[in-house]
Amino acid sequence: MSVEDADVVIVGAGPYGLSLAAQLRKRRVSFRIFGQAMKFWREMPIGVNLKSLAFATNIFVPEPGYTFPEWCRQRGLEDFEPCTMQSFAEYGTWMQERFVPDLESEEVIHVSAAGRGFDVTLSSGRRVNARRIVFATGLSYLARIPEVLRDLPRELASHTYFLSDYSDFRGKEVAVIGGGASAIEAGALVHEAGGQAQVLVRDAEAVFHGRSNRVRPMLERIREPMTVMGAGRRHWVLQHFPLAVHFLPEARRVRLVQGYLGPASPWWIKDRVLGKVAIHVRSEVTAARPVGGRVRLTVRSDGRVEREFEVDRVIAGTGYDADLARLPYLDSVLRERMLCTERAPALSMSFESSVKGLYFMGPMSAMSFGPLFRFVAGADFTVRMLARHLGGPLARAQDAVKGWTAKAFGAEGALVSDGRPKQPSAFIFPGGPVNRPQPSSKKWQQK
Ligand SMILES: Cc1cc2nc3c(=O)[nH]c(=O)nc-3n(C[C@H](O)[C@H](O)[C@H](O)COP(=O)(O)OP(=O)(O)OC[C@H]3O[C@@H](n4cnc5c(N)ncnc54)[C@H](O)[C@@H]3O)c2cc1C
């Protein structure tokens, strides 16, 4: 079989991959992109909402008028929060058809080093020789299943990442493990599907954010500026200065990434679980074994008392590990050549790993750039940096001229069509609209 060529290969067609493709196309950088458009979002269970605000959840294309809130407004849909995952998936697919029509919906199954580039094998068996390769595979392969559940058969235990239909839980007793939005929402979805859910939270409380206000008083907006991660000064710094995070000493950066934004759920999940789903805090599962088609759990409460009970199914809402070793498509020789921060690839300012020509975007880049990059919003900064880098000296010169023209003709003060101030520079994230919501952090717990 003949081997095809590509300058840049992008693996994955979610918000990061599609945004980068749109930027490269505009810059006339030759690329190929593989994957199914918005697959992760299309496979979300019906009734699941975005956790982020609409303005923080875009496919970032180099033309105004194509943000998610604008798309929602044109269709009479909610354009702030909560927006459905289904709407976001439709928006993303619509954007792909317009901005990335040459998407090839094949999976990349293997990538290894070859000469001065990479040998990419596709699911059809075709092979592509790529000079540079960008991985944008999101949270695929990264679901964290606690040790204690790993030996349970698949039909008895699953991770929220793999669940797209909750109707199987009708009439079932289900234990959901975890205290974050995914776990609490899984409890709600089991209940709504006609099952009986209980959520086991290890921490002392299940945290719910308060409702966001679209309009906020000036003083509040100054004290707690709105950002793509919610209101707050630290969020603001992380959003506007990702390079400052990048250049923090590694140990500090790791602490920041690991400790920032603990498990919490949005306000609109609260009504769906309150009085409907039992939430047990300070409860840790210490053992789980299959018994006659059910699961017998041992749960330690308050660090002392252990109790045992049986359920029909267990769902782990226990998060994700950015672990290079989990990526099945990456050749082991390449992986071993890569320097890591914790278990994630250590990336340069241009999102390049220690293997020249090999790049990572999205959750895999959070250890190098901060917590913002766990979310779709991080794609804005990422793709502008990466497109400029991949475009080479010509792209950088074009940006310099564009910046100079904008300054000379005062374009910086103009507004884009959704009312946000235009970005003053590629290194600074867009500021929010003047009236952004303020999620107050209310806490709630139920035994
Ligand atoms: C339940 C849940 C809810 C979330 N809600 C939000 C939210 O509301 N807002 C927010 O900002 N973030 C949210 N996130 C986080 C968000 O999913 C990540 O930040 C994210 O993955 C960003 O987009 P992406 O393009 O990196 O990944 P994805 O959107 O997951 O896209 C990656 C794509 O790569 C494809 N792929 C994987 N392997 C291959 C391969 N070998 N070959 C070809 N294609 C491949 C996948 O099929 C997938 O379509 C949520 C995460 C979860 C788990």
Q: Is 15 in the pocket of ligand 1 (CB under 6 A)?
A: yes
- In this model, does residue 322 exceed pLDDT 80? yes
In this structure, CATH architecture of domain 3-142+321-396 = 3-Layer(bba) Sandwich (3.50)
Q: Is 365 in the pocket of ligand 1 (CB under 6 A)?
A: no
Residue with tokens 């769906």: 272
Mean predicted lDDT score pLDDT of the chain: 89
161's CB contacts (< 8 A; 6+ apart) are 139, 143, 320
- In this model, does residue 424 exceed pLDDT 50? no
How far does the centroid of ligand 1 lie from the alpha carbon of residue 40, in Å?
Answer: 6
**Which pLDDT value is given to residue 1?**
65
pTM for this prediction: 0.90
How far does the centroid of ligand 1 lie from the alpha carbon of residue 296, in Å?
Answer: 33
pLDDT average, residue stretch 73-89: 96
CA 375 to chain centre: 4
Pairing of strands 283-291, 294-301: antiparallel
Concatenated DSSP letters for 150-174?
Answer: TTS-TTTEEEGGG----GGGTT-EE
Q: 205 is written with which tokens? A: 């409380």
- In this model, does residue 167 exceed pLDDT 70? yes
Asked if 108 and 329 count as a contact pair (C-beta separation under 8 A), the reply is yes
371's CB contacts (< 8 A; 6+ apart) are 229, 238, 256, 257, 260, 261
- In this model, does residue 446 exceed pLDDT 80? no
Q: Is 13 in the pocket of ligand 1 (CB under 6 A)?
A: yes
pLDDT average, residue stretch 6-13: 98
Q: Is 317 in the pocket of ligand 1 (CB under 6 A)?
A: no
How far does the centroid of ligand 1 lie from the alpha carbon of residue 378, in Å?
Answer: 12
Q: Whose CA is nearest to atom 2 of ligand 1?
A: 182
pLDDT band per the 50, 70, 90 thresholds, residue 296? very high
pLDDT band per the 50, 70, 90 thresholds, residue 294? very high
pLDDT single digits (tens) 52-64: 999 999 999 999 9
Query: In the CATH hierarchy, which fold is given to the domain comprising 147-208+264-316?
Result: FAD/NAD(P)-binding domain (3.50.50)
How far does the centroid of ligand 1 lie from the alpha carbon of residue 227, in Å?
Answer: 21
Query: Can you give the residue ranges of every domain in the chain?
Result: 3-142+321-396, 147-208+264-316, 409-446
pLDDT single digits (tens) 137-146: 999 999 999 9
**Which pLDDT value is given to residue 434?**
25
Fold: same for 3-142+321-396 and 147-208+264-316: yes
**Which pLDDT value is given to residue 222?**
92
**Best mutation site among 182, 375, 383 for ligand 1 pocket (most ligand atoms within 8 Å of CB):** 375
**Which pLDDT value is given to residue 403?**
64
Selected residue with higher pLDDT from 23 and 436: 23
Q: Is 69 in the pocket of ligand 1 (CB under 6 A)?
A: no
Q: 1 is written with which tokens? A: 């079989």
- In this model, does residue 346 exceed pLDDT 90? yes
pLDDT single digits (tens) 241-273: 999 999 999 999 999 999 998 899 999 999 999
Selected residue with higher pLDDT from 176 and 46: 176
How far does the centroid of ligand 1 lie from the alpha carbon of residue 411, in Å?
Answer: 34
Tell me phi and psi for residue 237, to 5 degrees: -65, -45
**Which pLDDT value is given to residue 431?**
28
Express as a percent the part of the chain with pLDDT over 90: 81
SS3 175: strand
How far does the centroid of ligand 1 lie from the alpha carbon of residue 204, in Å?
Answer: 30
